[in-house]
Structure 1
Amino acid sequence: MVRMLRPFGRAVTYTRWLHLFIAVVAPSLLLFVREAWWIWLIAAAALLPAALVPAVRTVEGLQARLLLTGHRHDSESTDIVAAPSASWGDRGRLVVWLQARLLLGYATMTVSAQLVFAIVDSASAPFGHDSEQSGPFVLAGHAWWHVLLVPLFLAALGVTVLAAGHLITALALRLLGPSRAERLAALEERTEQLLERTRIARELHDSIGHALTVAVVQAGAARAAGDPAFTDRALSAIEETGRAALEDLERVLGVLRESERPVDGRPTLTEADRLLESARASGTKVDAEMTGPLDTVPGPVSREGYRILQEALTNVLRHAGSVPVRVRIALADGTLTLDVRNPLTADIPGPGRGSGLRGIRERAALLGGHARTGPTEGDWQVHVELPVS
């Protein structure tokens, strides 16, 4: 019983009823001037040119959101569009919506009014009051048992209110919902947001992960060496790497705080020496060779190339320690090639494992290139090819 009565404790039940009554206010006022059935035809015809105005869809959408969904942040509210009509398909659905709202509003108003009259008549019948209204639910006479019909009429009124409210809401979701073009645009926007979040997460993983790895390796090496001069160099490397990581963190947080702020200041391959020196300062012997005009590599490719190199060196420091590393960066025939090799150790992760290696492959794929990571001839290799044209 409580479950059946629960809908009548929600405000949206009555705002939906109000929404239907608003649709028939104008023709109802005209009926006071002249009672004629053709007034409803005039009202229906007047809605046709109104539906051609793009802003009418905005008004109807906002009104439906407010009265039919109660401003809830759920699928019902977001599936009702409050944007102007952008196509003839939108206008056509708006015509059907306006006509359906008028028809359903008239039916709901008529049935509700008749049930209210019947309730009043049935409640007053035992006291000998004559009803001034007539209708299908109003009974003639003053029989005492008419009062027993009051609960039945109340239940019928409640069912009418609930059924009409659910029906008009379903029609609003269908006729005022987004068109195929609007759904596609929303999907593309959502995809862009997800890609941006993934890119930001990858930026933080690569930058902060590299800085922490260098700091841990440097601190461990300084403790093991017990040489004041080496300790000073290690602390300087930790300071420089930490400062660079803080700059990256501040830039990424700035983008998150200001969604319209452009992403700038990200390092490129022209700054690859900073990564190589950081690895060398950690005790790793780095044999690096860079060929080709790297300063001509397009910005997106150069920035992603820098992050790929950073992640590859971070993996070496994290899993292999101070082992010799061979780095080759070449630009030739419209392709940027990055190749990082180091002796294979037991701690090197296998192919396909680790978020860093997966990030390398994802970066390469997004740029139309490909990446290969895994054991090769006794070495661990990260080989990436990126198109630059």
Structure 2
Amino acid sequence: MRSLRRLLRPLSRAVTYTRWLHLFMGAVAAVVVVGVAFPGLTDPSAGMWLLLLFVPLPLLALAASVPGTRVAEAMQARLLLYPGPQAPHEHPAPEIAGSPSKSWGDRWRVFVWLTLRLWLGFGVTVVTLNGLVLTLGLLMPSLWPPFGPGPELLPGRWGWWYPLIAPVSGAALVTVIWGAGTLMAGLAPRLLGPSPAERLAELEARTERLLERTRLARELHDTIGHALTIAVVQAGAARAAGTPEFTDRALAAIEDTGREALTELDRVLRLLREDADPTAQRPTLAHAGRLVESARGAGAEVSAHIGGDLGAVPGPVSREGYRMLQECLTNVLRHAGPVPVSVRVEVLDSWLEVEVRNKQPAEPAASPGGGSGLRGLRERAVLLGGAAAYGPDDGVWRVHVSLPLQ
């Protein structure tokens, strides 16, 4: 029973008939071209039929040379050769290019596809018409006697046993249609699918998007984490101090930091909507003074030394250097509190050095992030061709970053 259902399954699949329609549309193009080239042709020989199959090829080559032809053929293939939403249990459609042809190799594959569609469609159409006539000819005299005798398959008049072989004729017709449609569905990914160059370009673009998302996630971590840390430290210090003057300064620092965080959040959201330059309005080391003042406003004793020409630092290095310094100061306030901090930003001949030292507290606060910020800092340095080191050094916690300027 299961074998019988498997044999009859093509009859109940909608895609069997949409594939036939796809092939029939290719045959219609062949008939139109043949009708224009050989008007009034009747009773052609076998050699003439073969010639007629090659007459449309120059027009197919011209159509394949148009880049948009691949888009049209790919759309038809996706709609007609593969099961749609009405058959979710079927296999999904394979990858078929949805972009115009970019190279002559793509155009050649489209030409081969058009040629196979024309030839196979023409053959399936001829088989369909003859198969229907044969099947109905075998059945009709037995179902409706006024139709008279059926086809003379064997010498003599129509036989009573002809209806018995009618299912064989119908099954052969469905098998041909199913096989031709399956063949075209299997060839579509090879002839209409993306080329190796397109696959490589798509992979590179996808990698770039993933890297950009990772960078945006890090920026949100740096900016929002820094703002929240400043706000928490300032609020705690204001409550401990209990004086109106200190409370006013703390609220002003929280307001400035929050405003800066909102500006940065708005910039990142614009990037996610893909309507802004990724590097637009990103802070650089020229704004390092804001970080120092923010840390001082949180109660830390910060001594800063900024040396060299910061304007000579390349944009990517300067922007990442700012984020690294922000991460270091945020970690100091989060884990050590308002302790003495030494900041050194120096531009040398071919290197940028960023160093942050702070006194280690007797009981450091627990780190909910498990040190992921420092690991990210090291990864950033490596991506820029530099290096980052961190750890205890003579009773202080030291973070040292070296980034090449070239």
Q: What is the TM-score with the length of structure 2 in the denominator?
A: 0.82
Instruction: Check if 1:356 corresponds to 2:373.
Output: yes
Does the C-alpha gap of structure 1 residues 10 and 379 become closer, same or farther in structure 2, counting only changes over 3 Å?
Answer: farther
Out of 346, 368, 371, the position equivalent to 2:388 is 371
Out of 64, 77, 81, the position equivalent to 1:64 is 77
Out of 12, 22, 32, the position equivalent to 1:19 is 22
Compute the displacement of 1:275 (Å): 0.9
Q: Which moved more, 1:206-215 or 1:113-122?
A: 113-122
Q: Distance in 2 between matches of 1:303 and 1:374?
A: 24
Aligned ranges 1:67-216 → 2 under 5 Å = 67-69=80-82, 79-127=95-143, 128=145, 129=147, 142-216=158-232
Deviations 1:90-128, CA, capped at 9 Å, x for gaps: 233223222222222133223333332333223314144
Aligned ranges 1:288-299 → 2 under 5 Å = 288-299=304-315
1:267 aligned counterpart, secondary structure: coil
Compute the displacement of 1:262 (Å): 5.3
Does the C-alpha gap of structure 1 residues 139 and 305 become closer, same or farther in structure 2, counting only changes over 3 Å?
Answer: farther
Query: In 2, are the aligned partners of 1:60 and 1:82 still within 8 Å (CA)?
Result: no
Compute the displacement of 1:356 (Å): 1.6
Compute the displacement of 1:9 (Å): 6.1
Q: Distance in 2 between matches of 1:262 and 1:134?
A: 78
Unaligned runs of 5+ in 1: none
Instruction: Check if 1:281 corresponds to 2:288.
Output: no
Q: Distance in 1 between matches of 2:391 and 2:62?
A: 67
Query: In 2, are the aligned partners of 1:255 and 1:263 still within 8 Å (CA)?
Result: no
Deviations 1:261-288, CA, capped at 9 Å, x for gaps: 4541121111111111111222222122
Out of 30, 33, 38, the position equivalent to 2:40 is 33
Match in the other structure for 2:344: 328
Match in the other structure for 2:321: 305
Compute the displacement of 1:130 (Å): 5.2
Q: Distance in 1 between matches of 2:173 and 2:317?
A: 67
Compute the displacement of 1:204 (Å): 1.0
Does the C-alpha gap of structure 1 residues 358 and 75 become closer, same or farther in structure 2, counting only changes over 3 Å?
Answer: farther
Compute the displacement of 1:153 (Å): 4.5
Does the C-alpha gap of structure 1 residues 90 and 279 become closer, same or farther in structure 2, counting only changes over 3 Å?
Answer: same
Q: What is the TM-score with the length of structure 1 in the denominator?
A: 0.86
How many percent of aligned residue pairs carry the same amino acid?
A: 53
Out of 362, 365, 386, the position equivalent to 2:403 is 386
Q: Distance in 1 between matches of 2:364 and 2:10?
A: 62
Q: Which moved more, 1:17-26 or 1:202-211?
A: 17-26
Instruction: Check if 1:253 corresponds to 2:266.
Output: no
1:20 aligned counterpart, secondary structure: helix
Does the C-alpha gap of structure 1 residues 116 and 140 become closer, same or farther in structure 2, counting only changes over 3 Å?
Answer: farther
Match in the other structure for 1:339: 355
Deviations 1:107-163, CA, capped at 9 Å, x for gaps: 32233333323332233141444578799xx99854445444455544444443333
Q: Distance in 1 between matches of 2:379 and 2:141?
A: 79
Q: Distance in 1 between matches of 2:266 and 2:7?
A: 55
Compute the displacement of 1:45 (Å): 5.3
1:24 aligned counterpart, secondary structure: helix
Does the C-alpha gap of structure 1 residues 124 and 222 become closer, same or farther in structure 2, counting only changes over 3 Å?
Answer: same
Q: Distance in 2 between matches of 1:156 and 1:347?
A: 81
Q: Which moved more, 1:156-165 or 1:1-10?
A: 1-10
1:236 aligned counterpart, secondary structure: helix
- The number of aligned residues is 386
Query: In 1, are the aligned partners of 2:151 and 2:158 still within 8 Å (CA)?
Result: no
Query: In 2, are the aligned partners of 1:76 and 1:173 still within 8 Å (CA)?
Result: no
Q: Distance in 2 between matches of 1:253 and 1:50?
A: 44
Query: In 1, are the aligned partners of 2:94 and 2:189 still within 8 Å (CA)?
Result: no
Aligned partner letter, 1:23: G
Aligned ranges 1:211-230 → 2 under 5 Å = 211-230=227-246
Q: Which moved more, 1:144-153 or 1:373-382?
A: 144-153
Deviations 1:343-381, CA, capped at 9 Å, x for gaps: 34564789x953322321232223222222333343332
2:99 aligned counterpart, secondary structure: coil
State the Cα RMSD in Å: 3.4
Unaligned runs of 5+ in 2: none
Match in the other structure for 2:334: 318
Q: Distance in 2 between matches of 1:319 and 1:139?
A: 102
